[in-house]
Structure 1
Amino acid sequence: MAVAEPALTPALRRTPTDTPVVAGIVADGFSCQTQIAHLQDGGPPARHLAEVIDAAMGSNLMHPSEEDTP
């Protein structure tokens, strides 16, 4: 975690809590997402690239509603 202190941690703390998914933090690995969650002070969660693309396309395949399921 000491490696993150010079740049990553301050940037994470400056990220607004209402940052949309398409403009948020991208981290494909589970361990990276977990470490970012530990470094943040209530900021938006890190998302997998597939989730960001899904949100940008508006397809909502990652989180279908009951209407979307066959």
Structure 2
Amino acid sequence: MVYSPVPVALVFLLYLCVVWAGPRLMRSRGPVDLKAVLILYNFSMFLVTSWLSNYSLLCQPVDYSSSPLAMRVRC
């Protein structure tokens, strides 16, 4: 995006519009309850990381490699 100043300027202007218009649009609306969505997301990430990738939950040796599964479990 930095090959030209135009994309950076457009992203900056979009950011300013969101910062300016966002609070005005949301002034009369209540907060959104995302608790169920976050629970579902966390559970799905748990399944993808551990169960579907054959990761043992009982006794797993420490994996110091830089494999994608090891990096995902570390974070």
Normalising to structure 1: TM-score of the pair? 0.22
- Greater RCO structure (CA 8 Å; 6+ sep): 1
Greater Rg over alpha carbons, structure: 2
Query: Which is helix-richer, 1 or 2?
Result: 2
Normalising to structure 2: TM-score of the pair? 0.21
